[in-house]
Structure 1
Amino acid sequence: MIRKFSGELVEFEMYTPPVSSLLDELDRIRKSKAQVVFGHQFLSDATQVVQDLNTLNWFPEGLVVQNAGYTIPEFLKTVGKDGKYIISRVAWALGLGRVKPIVTEVNNLYRSKYNEDMNETNARSFTGFFVLADAINRAGSINKDEIKRALLGTNIPGKSLIMPWKGVRFDSNGQNILADALLAQIINQEYKVIWPLSVAETRVVWPAPAWNEK
């Protein structure tokens, strides 16, 4: 993928989590003069990455991550403003409500009951239950085989979902072929959608500012 966009892989680091420090690995990446760093860590290591980047007083032009620990509420609570400008793949974002009112409507109902906003985990859970309920209604039965057949015939349009998907339609392996994702950047301690541009809340901040400019 990097080569497809005329990029060059200048450093590749692997480690066995959990760790108490990633300073050595990040310092080697820094010395390689990498412009963009890609990462995938769970909460403790994601927090460690931010802390160690701060210790090195270095932040790459782009820190692009694969959700995991970077998108759960505890991450932002732990790193605070130091998490600014990280870019992450996200399965869902509250900012979708700007172009999909159903997102705001469902979140308001959720907030009225739990006194907090939805996140991508409970948004996926809600959608899964919604899809199952739709199949049971169409099956007109609680027989598992009838429900399975109904699930295979699912064809829910994206406008009926709170997810950023084109819809729900399963292939023969049970995978939703209309699923999609977003890219969000942490700005002012909130995940702001930056891609696709059709649903973006704000423009991407690139290159990310240095630590003393955050």
Structure 2
Amino acid sequence: MKRQLCGKSLFLVLLSLLMVAVLAGVSSADEKVIKIGTLFPLTGPVALAGQRCRAAVETAAEVINNAHPELQVPLAAQEGILDGYKIVLIHADHQGKPDVAKSEAERLFDQEKVWAIIGSYNSSATKPASFVAELKKQIFMCGCSSSGALTERNFKYFFRMAPTDKTESLEFVEFMEWLNETRETGLKTVGLIYENTEFGKHAAEEGRMAAEAKGFKVVADVPFNPGATNLNSEVQTLKAANPDAVFGACLGGDYTLWVRTMKQMSWLPKVALNYCTGYQDPIIAGQLGDDANYFMGGTGYAPEFAGLMPAVAAVEEIYKGKTDPSVPFDSDSIQEAVALFVLAQAIEKAGALDPTKVAETLYANEWESPLSMGGKVAFAPGGQNIRAMSMLTQLQGGQYKRIYPADLADTEAVVPMVPWEKR
């Protein structure tokens, strides 16, 4: 009798376990989620920038997943996409290392089973990670990595939101010509300082070509290893060449070190123009204080642009709840939010979770993007957003003042830069 009771008890236990497993399977089958990987430098030299990019994607996911009728952005009024699918983010850290970016992209696709990846801030990390996506025919949405080479590979599943180093280089040179014509600034020579990475080398190459095409002479070409402990010899090289303008491609702490080293050596060019760099980072600008003033650069968004981009403010409040509340969107982080908003619109319009169909849909349409300066996103073959816009700003009194193009400017550029000893 005891054996029979034990056998019956064991049967009931097994039956219960089986029912739990069946119910769990039903729940999983009914669960409507789209797993999206994020791949940013969450540790390492530019960790703060990477963390803000992650927070921006989290902000976009929250808006897409939940009804926010008060927001003037696509999909905000509804809950989810494709009749109820919610986006679930799986975060990964590439540490600013290309080899780690590649292996993490493989892990996200193969083990985490993500449907697409958004990333990766550093162009040197985006390059191998997006190659993994292309081989797997999975979508890779790139917010702010600026190397023009990324959209010159004829990839079918790669899409970038931000302007490229080529676009910014042409804008730098156009600005210099305009200054010479309208202000008689006498700008003739250019120096290049850049990190020795995919981003830096490509920015310097584009800067050289743009400058020389318009008759400016490049008198200094100064690479450095990112994460350097000092830039004394590099700045001394610039100072010795004494270019009228410097094009800088220095991220994070490298930018801070470059600025402070110039101050130590009591040297400045007439104009310092920066690519997608530490210049655009409001935290770095705050840390540098008055030393940050009078530097210039391409800028896709700053709080001072609120009048040009009125839809941003309400979304930015959600963003601040996911990161340091004192830090607003910046040019880089906001592009990562745009990447997810555009991807979600394309999935909704395609009506299916077929990566090839969604990629074709991304190419075939122009997308509403109130968080972009141009208000629209559209992709050329290779995945570059041909509606990407930025303008030149100059830090004055700790604020990003619009200085070019002239029709969008709110402030006159201070040229030459105010010398260190007169600040």
Unaligned stretches of 5+ residues in structure 2: 1-209
Q: Match of 2:413, SS?
A: coil
Q: Does 2:255 align with 1:43?
A: no
Shift of the alpha carbon at 1:210?
Answer: 0.6
RMSD across aligned positions (CA): 2.3
Pick closer, same or farther for the CA change 1:106–1:195 going to 2, 3 Å: farther
1:209 lines up with 2:418 in the alignment? yes
| Aligned-residue offset at 1:28 | 2.8
Supply the distance in 2 between the matched residues of 1:9 and 1:174 (Cα, whole angstroms): 31
Whole-Å separation in 1 of the counterparts to 2:321 and 2:362: 31
**Structure 1 residue 200 and structure 2 residue 417: aligned?**
no
Q: Distance in 2 between matches of 1:66 and 1:94?
A: 19
Alpha-carbon distance in 1 for matches of 2:216, 2:398: 30
Partner residue, 2:277: 68
Change (3 A) 1:112 1:168: same
Displacement, 1:162? 1.7
1:112 CA displacement: 6.7
CA 1:126/1:55 → structure 2, altered by over 3 Å: closer, same or farther? same
3-state SS in 2 of match to 1:98? coil
Alignment of 1:149-160 (within 5 A): 149-157=360-368, 160=369
Deviates more, 1:72-81 or 1:36-45: 72-81
Quick check: 1:23 aligned with 2:235?
Answer: no
Q: Is the Cα–Cα contact under 8 Å of residues 278 and 284 in structure 2 kept in the other structure?
A: yes
Q: Against the structure 1 CA distance between its residues 145 and 25, is the aligned structure 2 distance closer, same or farther, given a 3 Å change threshold?
A: closer
Q: What are the within-5 Å matches in structure 2 for residues 72-151 of structure 1?
A: 72-111=281-320, 115-116=325-326, 117-151=328-362
The residue that corresponds to 2:84 in the other structure is none
TM-score scaled to structure 1, two decimals?
Answer: 0.86
SS of residue paired to 2:254: helix
Distance 1:167 1:195 in 2: 21
How far has the Cα of 1:174 moved from its partner?
Answer: 2.2
SS at match of 1:12: strand
Runs ≥4 residues deviating over 6 A: none
Are the structure 2 counterparts of residues 7 and 166 from structure 1 closer, same or farther at C-alpha, using a change threshold of 3 Å?
farther
Q: Is the Cα contact below 8 Å between 1:93 and 1:192 reproduced in 2? A: no
Question: Could you tell me how far apart the structure 2 residues matched to 1:196 and 1:167 are?
Answer: 19
Question: Is the 8 Å Cα contact of residues 64 and 88 (structure 1) preserved in structure 2?
Answer: yes
Deviation at 1:120, TM superposition (A): 2.1
The 8 Å contact of residues 243 and 269 in structure 2, kept in 1 or not, is answered as: yes
Query: 1:65 offset after TM fit, Å?
Result: 1.4
Report 1 or 2 for greater relative contact order, CA contacts < 8 Å, sequence distance ≥ 6.
1
> Does the C-alpha gap of structure 1 residues 198 and 133 become closer, same or farther in structure 2, counting only changes over 3 Å?
farther
Aligned equivalent of 1:3: 212
Q: Kindly provide the CA deviation profile for residues 143-167 of structure 1, in whole angstroms up to 9, marking residues without a partner as x.
A: 334323322222125xx42212362
User: What TM-score do the two structures reach when normalised by structure 2?
Assistant: 0.46
* 1:62 CA drift (Å): 0.9
Change (3 A) 1:171 1:6: closer
Higher mean displacement: 146-155 or 119-128:
146-155
2:389 is the counterpart of 1:180: yes
Q: 1:65 to 1:205 in 2, by over 3 A?
A: same
Deviation at 1:69, TM superposition (A): 2.5
Q: Is the 8 A contact 1:95 1:201 kept in 2?
A: no
Query: Could you report, residue by residue, the CA deviation over 1:30-86 in whole angstroms, capped at 9, with x for unpaired residues?
Result: 232321112111222211111111111122211111122222233223322111111
Kindly tell me the number of residue pairs found equivalent between the two proteins. Answer: 212
Residues 126, 15 of structure 1: CA spacing in aligned structure 2 closer, same or farther, 3 A cutoff?
A: closer
Task: In structure 1, list runs of 5 or more residues that go unmatched.
Answer: none
CA distance in 1, matches of 2:279, 2:309: 24
For the Cα contact (< 8 Å) 1:182–1:196, is it kept in 2?
yes
**Counterpart of 1:48 in structure 2: which amino acid?**
L
Secondary structure of residue in 2 paired with 1:14? strand
